[in-house]
Amino acid sequence: MRECFEVQDTDAGGRIGDLTVPRADVTVETPALLPVINPNLDTISPRRLADEFGAEILITNSYIIHGDDNLRERAREQGLHELLDFPGAIMTDSGSFQLSEYGEIDVTTEEILAFQREIGSDIATPVDIPTPPDVPRDRAAADLETTQERLAVAEDADTGEMLVSAPVQGSTYPELRERAGRHADETDLDVFPVGAVVPLMNDYRYDDMVDVVAAAKRGLGGDAPVHLFGAGHPMMFALAVAMGCDLFDSAAYALYARDDRYLTVRGTRALEDLEYFPCSCAVCTAHSPDELRALPDDERESELAAHNLHVTFAEIRRIKQAIRAGNLLELVEQRARAHPTMLDGYRTLLDHAAQLERSDPVSKGAFFYTSHESARRPEVVRHHQRLERLDVPDTLLLTVDRSAPDAEFDAAWRVEPPFGPFPRALSKSYPLTAEVPDRTDRAALEAAADGVARLVAANPEADVTLAHREWPADALERVPDDVELVDLTAERA
């Protein structure tokens, strides 16, 4: 077990956890948002972040502080917590971002780690190499080797109580990301940022982002706290949490405010396009869009940043509540409807349903079938796995009707889309208590047919009959040939 992180509750790949930050003497509940503080620009003061928004942790850049004579000396004298006036935990970045933007920086990992410790950082970061997407594999592998050397330096450094992060790189190569995750997990470092995903998000490549995170997660252990580095738009938090990300940092709230952009969980809006505010935060209830537009630039920026933070923190709370209630994937489905690329992200997440299934609770409140993507959820994958372990009698009727067992058969089992068949004894257990629409869709029927096929494949000696009601040919084609088919609609007619 990793001492600094304890998982309290899970749903799909998402979890509520406690990140213990010993140097700050703070326990941060995850999923958590780390607002990014630029030490030179105070859009919203760190004190206000703590008092008004409930921020337990923030992130600032030690490289910027190190490179500014005035800030550096003040940070050395007062320490970061006093410099920023923030009572929670403070994570520091190392200049890796500047390295990726400008090609070089003038500190080594040893120097910047020592500096982060000196100024009182609670979670430090070594200088890793953020490899952009789509570079040649050789370069991604070579960069990764350098990152791994830096992690070894960080392991050897005298860092005391300070936690140290171990970034996971590997560009858009899943096998490199997985290997990087495994290597990072084997170090004695503490927090695991998945790095260099910002270009993917800037290009709306949520499908590739999901693949990258899924690969990193396969390498990392289940007890590793995972930070999605640079991901600050609330629209994608639910998706990322469902993949198993625990920490997010947001510079977006301030950067977007500077450009008069208004964050929502369904995407970004230009302030000039808004006639009404779809939000009930303090900013949006006190101002109309017209009034906000009429404010002087700096006031407007500050008000917009406050709204952006409110909506961002609210989404984190909504996600935590969804994990507690066991309906995180229903929330992801809602968010996926905001943009076609988010839907691609969700569909890609479902490609990893078997991976998510491992941390998905066996029982939750209720399974709501709210889109045809629901047919691919981890609960369906698990039920299909379970079908292989059930005892099957010699002759078995599988029926979509709730009618009593037919005397011709040793037993009759219900068939419920999208899960497929199950014995009566399981009918009251999760997820078979699912709420599904009366107007079943093809994806649900096909998944149910796949369940029948799984059951038959595991029990080739059984004599199985499937009584369905007008199942389409696409679904019936998935049922093995030796299953006898009866269409109940035709029978009744």
Comparison of 62 and 308: residue with beta carbon closer to Zn ion: 308
Q: How far is the CB of 428 from Zn ion (least distance, A)?
A: 43
Binding mask 226-265 for Zn ion (x = CB under 5 A): ----------------------------------------
Nearest-angstrom CA–CA distance, 183 and 352: 22
Task: Give the position of tokens 């690969």.
Answer: 215
Nearest-angstrom CA–CA distance, 237 and 241: 6
Q: Does 196 carry a binding-site annotation?
A: yes
Give 489's DSSP letter: H
Comparison of 108 and 280: residue with beta carbon closer to Zn ion: 280
Residues belonging to the active site: 93
Here the tokens at position 158 are 């005298």
Q: For residues 250 and 312, is the Cβ–Cβ distance under 8 A? A: yes
Q: For residues 164 and 124, is the Cβ–Cβ distance under 8 A? A: yes
Give 132's DSSP letter: P
Q: Does 279 carry a binding-site annotation?
A: yes
Q: How far is the CB of 252 from Zn ion (least distance, A)?
A: 15
**Number of residues this chain uses to bind Zn ion (CB under 5 A):** 5
Phi first, then psi: give them for residue 36, nearest 5 degrees: -85, 130
Q: For residues 417 and 411, is the Cβ–Cβ distance under 8 A? A: no
Q: How far is the CB of 171 from Zn ion (least distance, A)?
A: 37
Q: How far is the CB of 237 from Zn ion (least distance, A)?
A: 17
- From the list 242, 284, 336, 436, which residue makes contact with Zn ion (rule: CB under 5 A)? 284
Comparison of 144 and 265: residue with beta carbon closer to Zn ion: 265
Comparison of 33 and 464: residue with beta carbon closer to Zn ion: 33
- From the list 150, 217, 307, 377, which residue makes contact with Zn ion (rule: CB under 5 A)? 307
Comparison of 19 and 311: residue with beta carbon closer to Zn ion: 311
Task: Give the position of tokens 């349903």.
Answer: 353
Q: How far is the CB of 52 from Zn ion (least distance, A)?
A: 13
Using the rule CB under 5 A, is 191 a contact of Zn ion?
A: no
Phi first, then psi: give them for residue 345, nearest 5 degrees: -60, -45
Q: How are beta strands 226-228 and 247-250 bridged, if at all?
A: parallel
Residue 327, strand partner residues? none
N residues, the chain: 493
- From the list 135, 274, 279, 486, which residue makes contact with Zn ion (rule: CB under 5 A)? 279
Q: How far is the CB of 315 from Zn ion (least distance, A)?
A: 12
- Please list, in sequence order, all residues whose beta carbon lies within 8 angstroms of the beta carbon of residue 331, skipping any fewer than 6 positions away: 238, 318, 319, 322
Task: Give start and end residues of each alpha helix (H) in 338-427.
Answer: 340-351, 353-357, 378-387
Using the rule CB under 5 A, is 274 a contact of Zn ion?
A: no
Using the rule CB under 5 A, is 281 a contact of Zn ion?
A: yes
Candidates 41-49, 109-117, 276-284, 404-412: pick the segment binding Zn ion (CB under 5 A): 276-284
Give the three-state DSSP class for 176: helix
Q: Does 284 carry a binding-site annotation?
A: yes
Comparison of 59 and 252: residue with beta carbon closer to Zn ion: 252
Q: Does 4 carry a binding-site annotation?
A: no
Residue 375 half-sphere exposure toward CB, CA atoms < 13 A: 20
Candidates 275-283, 322-330, 341-349, 474-482: pick the segment binding Zn ion (CB under 5 A): 275-283
Please state the residue numbers annotated as binding site for substrate: 128, 196
Binding site for Zn ion (CB under 5 A): 279, 281, 283-284, 307
Please state the residue numbers annotated as binding site for Zn(2+): 279, 281, 284
